[in-house]
Amino acid sequence: MDQKFDVPPQAEIRLTGQRVERGPVKNDWGLRLQWEVRHNGKVVATPPARADVAYEHAASEAGTYEIVLQTWQYIDYKKKPDGEFINSKFIDISNKVSYSI
């Protein structure tokens, strides 16, 4: 059975201090959910987000942090020689929130 990607998943996230919470994921594909945390544009963490609806990043380094909810979009198993997927990838499914320290 093929997975259909006609309607992408969507969720809304909100930020309170350094704690981010997600609402329910609409049109959930049932694949991995993760938070992507960036510090000054560089990915610094990708903790799982399916089991817990909230995440608090223990950031202490000055700068701007941006957080978004992502899900895995499986297309196929094609990989580069280094093991990185070619077509399958994580996609953003929420609004982005940011804060500065």
Give the alpha-carbon dihedral of 95, 18, 57, 98, to 10 degrees. Answer: 40
Nearest CA to 47 among 74, 17, 56, 39? 56
Task: Give the tokens for residue 68.
Answer: 């978004």
Model confidence pLDDT, tens digit, residues 23-38: 999 999 889 999 999 9
Model confidence pLDDT, tens digit, residues 42-78: 999 999 999 999 999 887 889 999 999 999 998 888 9
Looking at the whole model, is its pTM more than 0.95?
Answer: no
Task: Give the tokens for residue 22.
Answer: 């997600």
